[in-house]
Each structure stands twice: as C-alpha cells, then as structure tokens.
Amino acid sequence: MKPCSEAVALESRLRQCRNVRTLGVRANFSDYSPEDAALILSSRKIYYPTPFYADLLDTAGIETFPSYHTYKCVQDKIKQTALLTLLGVPHPRTRVFYGKRQIAAIPRHFSFPFIAKVPRGSAMGRGVFKIQTPEAFEAYIQISPVAYIQEYLPIDRDIRVVVIGDRVVHAYWRIAPEGDFRSNVAVGGRVSFDHVPQAARDLALSTARKCRWNDVGIDICRYQDRYYVIEANMKYGKEGFRKAGIDYIHLMETMIENGEI
C-alpha cells in the first residue's frame, strides 16, 4: 500500500487540520475498512488514538501522539499524584484514603478546610470541593467512596501551562471568580496574560519531560514563593488559545509539518 502523505488520526481533535486524515474511532478494530486498517498498521505514528487504542498500538510497536505515557494518566488524579511524588515534583500535600477505616483517619492528617476531589473522571473544576465542615465531608464521601484529599492553599489564581511536543506553547493565569476557590475557566475563571513567571513555565516543562507527557495542560500555583504542580489535564480546553489569538489548528498543522509532534 502506498504510504499516506497525511498524518493519520483516530479521534476528531485534528479533524480541521489540512494535513491530517481522521479515520474516526471504531469500537471494534474489525469495523475499520481493510484500507483504513492497513493505513493504521503501516503508519509511523497515529494521532489521538484514544486511551484504548493507545494501549493496543503501543503493544504493536506503533508510536502515538499523545504518547502512550500521556494516556496512562488521563483524568486519573491518583496516578498523577503517585507519579509526581515518585519523581519528586513539588505538589500540594495529598493523600488517598480507601475504605471506612482509612477515611475515618483523615482528621489525623488534615484539618479544615481542605480540598477533596473526585479522583477519576472529573475535569473542568467539577468534582472539586473545599471542605470546611464535617457535614460537607460526609456529603463528599457519599459521592466518592475513594477519598482524594489535598491541603488547601489560600490562593485566588493559578497558572495553566500547555506543553505540546517538547515545548511550552501557551501559558496564562486563571483567576477565580468572586466567591469561588476554583479558577477553572469552565466555572467562571478569568484568563489573564499578565506576566507568567518563567519559573512556572520551567516547572511545567520539566514535569512534562519527567512524566513523559507530550500533550498536556499543567496547572501550577504559587504559594509563599514556591511553585507547585496541582494536576495535569490531558483534555485541556481551547479558550485560553482563543483569548490569546492563537490559532490552535494552524499551530498543530505546523508542529506536524515540522516533525515536532
């Protein structure tokens, strides 16, 4: 089969890119046409294959973008925290508690207020709670039997740094709306392009490299003159790009053409 001159993608994220052929995601690999199946198997790299196919393609020896390692931590705060701790990346003090006996021990480790998160599948600020009373904590554990607890840092903003390939492509402040501790744009956070400290950019890039993540929005906060990685978002939004006047599609086309991703 003649090699395809276009990049090949499964998910629709790059559908508007002129140099990408998007095949779609099939529940069964046998649902791909013989031509598309052959194209996937002969491609040097498959873009946005989904977590399921990233696993299979890695086993088959086919490179993916984002990397297989990036997909391992998609919307999994428990894995992210374990990896950040393992690699010595500065991260707010965090513990995971399983079962009633461990959850009962939380007051020995954290005092009110603290942050509680739904550890898997949550994004865009949803599933994140500032716990200030025992009653609020009881309500939290009713929806999340695995308790992901993080120290509360009294800040009103954080920094989103987007790393694609091996470089920072975008960075901005996210400022929490009045009366909310969350700075996510999806819940009303305001984007600001005031000077983003180089230290935050450097921490995001070094974290992405250590974790082998190559398409990620890394959230960083500054507290008492130290920088901390809060979490990583592999399904980051594009609003920050739009507000900065960055054409995301053109950026991706160019990075593909230049062999950066």
Judge contact between 252 and 14, C-beta under 8 A: yes
| Main-chain phi, psi angles of 122, to 5 degrees | -90, 150
* Spatial distance between the Cα atoms of 232 and 219, rounded to a whole number of angstroms: 6
Helix (H) or strand (E) holding 190: strand 190-192
DSSP label of 51: H
Instruction: In the chain, count H helices and then E strands.
Output: 10, 13
CB count, 10 Å around CB of 240? 21
Tracing tokens 């374990």 back to the chain, one arrives at 82
> Which one, of 121, 118, 112, lies nearest residue 140 by Cα?
118
Residue-averaged pLDDT of the chain: 93
Tokens at 7, concatenated: 């990049």
Whether residue 192 contacts residue 206, with contact meaning beta carbons closer than 8 Å, is answered with no
Give the mean model confidence (pLDDT) for residues 231-237: 94
Out of 2-16, 21-35, 118-132, the most confident range is 21-35
Set out the domains of the chain in order of their start, with CATH numbers: 7-65 (no CATH), 93-151 (3.30.1490.20), 157-257 (3.30.470.20)
211 pLDDT exceeds 70? yes
**Global pTM value:** 0.92
